[in-house]
Structure 1
Amino acid sequence: MDQTEQNKLKALVGQEAVKYVKDGMLLGLGTGSTVRYMVDALGKRVKDEGLNITAATTSTRTTKQAESLGIKIVSLDSLDHLDLVIDGADEISDDFQGIKGGGGALLWEKIVANTAKKYMWIVDESKLVHKLGKFPLPVEVIPFGSVHVFNRLEKMGYKPTWRMDGDKKFLTDEKNYIIDLHLGEIDKPHELYDKLIKMVGVVEVGLFLDRVNDVIVGTANGPVVKHAR
């Protein structure tokens, strides 16, 4: 799939996702290239229909985009829940487990997801896989002692690399680093998550397990809605 076709599918699912947004909703807005199309479509509804929504976001990038389109953004801590969270994903397995964090927002994304009554992923069909692992697994770590965490992950055989931003280490919105693990295939994602999250210095892991309710997939034949739980 070339980039032009992929972008068309991303725009398609973004437009489909905002059909689930109702007036008065408390909404969570994710991060990533597919979500950008969704936020654009949401901004159009706010402008054209006078749609009244309040939203919290998973990154400063999404906040800036949403506010520029007239979408009301508030602090997550000012809300007791979110009716619907719409986010992207980097990989989704046959059993609806996911890898997220390719955009570097996995910590905020997981915090926002935890407040959702309904949690939706929007992806193009290239993100669907039988097993997770081809996409590098992001692990967010605090800077202090991070080299020791990296070395430990290397000794465990997880093939870590630093997420870079030019010639410097990439910084998340929380000013943490990301180490990407090149695993190839993840046979037991729950066991892996449990092992990684217990490591001192690890803040969060990009495995999003047993969370998503619905997935909208962009295909050449139109959007397909899959119900996970």
Structure 2
Amino acid sequence: MNDKELVAHQALQYVSENMIVGLGTGSTANFFIDALAKRNKEEKLNVRAVSSSVVSMMKAKEAGLPLLSMDQIKEIDLYIDGADEITPDLTLLKGRGYDLVREKLLARSAKKFIVIADESKIVKNIGDNFPIPSEVHPFAWELVKNVLMKKGTGDIRINAAKDGYAITSCGNFVLDFNFAEKTSEALNNLLSLTPGIVEHGIFYNLAHGALISHNGNVREIWRS
């Protein structure tokens, strides 16, 4: 069992009967989905799931997990997802995919949000390894870019085929920016208060805990 599988299985200890569980997206989250589906079937837990993306929805269906749509819920019991970066105070960077709005909705509505990752995702400051993504209205991206250029450097994200702009699952564009400012709270406020930004990749004061794997061991970090 590799480190990603190990930490995904460790997260199962926080699942109990009749829970509504939010499912993240990515390789580590996929291991959790498979493990959850297996345990749900074997132990008859009556767990239902809500996906953060089309990808995780398809994975959950394939694994046999009962699914709810977001318009069927008011809150969820547990959200398990990965992250691109994790700081010691549990600020997360997410959004290298295209589902920021759905991911943050689940994070905010969860009674408990636990991030699962390997040690490589731990950083000192948000933005150390990756630019910070902001999902923007298509009609506003140039205006938003002009505002953000006063604070950092970046551009609109190009799609994988490199023949146009990347489009999120909500039909928006993405700006990827690096900033001189490194304080999580200041960056969160800057992006949250910029008109035209639908959502951004800084998950500030949202994760309750993290399970971090390294060389066959898992350590826990909890927000005080």
Work out whether the TM-score is over 0.5: yes
CA-CA distance at 1:151 after TM superposition: 3.3
Between 186-195 and 212-221, report the one with greater CA deviation: 186-195
Measured after TM superposition, the shift of residue 163 of structure 1 is 4.4
Q: Does 1:218 align with 2:213?
A: yes
Which position in structure 1 is the counterpart of 2:177?
Answer: 181
Given the alignment, which residue of 71, 95, 98 partners 2:65? 71
Deviating more after overlay: 152-161 vs 70-79: 152-161
What corresponds to 2:11 in structure 1? 17
Q: Give the whole-Å Cα distance in 1 for the aligned partners of 2:49 and 2:181.
A: 34
> How far does the alpha carbon of each residue in 1:157-216 deviate from its partner, in whole angstroms, 9 at most, with x for none?
333342423122221110111111133x64222122222222221101111111111100
Question: One-letter code of the match for 2:43?
Answer: E
Provide the alpha-carbon RMSD of the alignment: 1.8
Listed as ranges, the matches of 1:146-225 within 5 Å are: 146-167=141-162, 168-183=164-179, 186-225=181-220
Report the 3-state secondary structure (helix = DSSP H, G, I; strand = E; otherwise coil) of the residue aligned with 1:226: strand
Aligned to 1:4: none
**What displacement does 1:127 show?**
0.4
Please report how far the alpha carbon of residue 94 of structure 1 lies from its aligned counterpart in structure 2 after TM superposition: 1.5
1:128 aligns with 2:106: no
Classify the secondary structure of the residue corresponding to 1:138: strand
Alignment check: 8 A CA contact 2:3 2:216 kept: no
Letter in 1 for 2:141: S
Give, in whole Å, the separation in 1 of the partners of 2:97 and 2:103.
10
- Aligned counterparts of 1:197 and 1:226: Cα–Cα separation in 2: 26
Q: Is the 8 A contact 1:131 1:186 kept in 2?
A: no
Task: Give the distance between the partners of 2:134 and 2:108, measured in 1 at CA.
Answer: 18
Question: Alpha-carbon deviations, 1:26-48, whole Å to 9, x = none?
Answer: 11111222111111111221333
| 1:53 aligned onto 2:14 | no
> 1:141 and 2:136 equivalent?
yes
TM-score, length of structure 2 as denominator length = 0.91
Q: 2:178 is matched by which residue type in structure 1? A: H
Percent of aligned pairs with the same amino acid: 35
Question: Which residue does the alignment assign to 1:101?
Answer: 95
Once residues 171 and 187 of structure 1 are traced to their aligned partners in structure 2, the CA distance between those partners, rounded to angstroms, is 27
Quick one: which amino acid aligns to residue 142 of structure 1? H
Pair 1:87 & 2:81 matched: yes
Find the residue that maps to 1:38 and give its secondary structure.
Answer: helix
Choose from 94, 113, 131 the match for 2:107.
Answer: 113
TM-score (norm 1): 0.89
> What letter corresponds to residue 184 of structure 2 in structure 1?
P
Q: CA deviation at 1:56?
A: 1.1
The answer for unaligned runs of 5 or more in structure 1 is 1-6
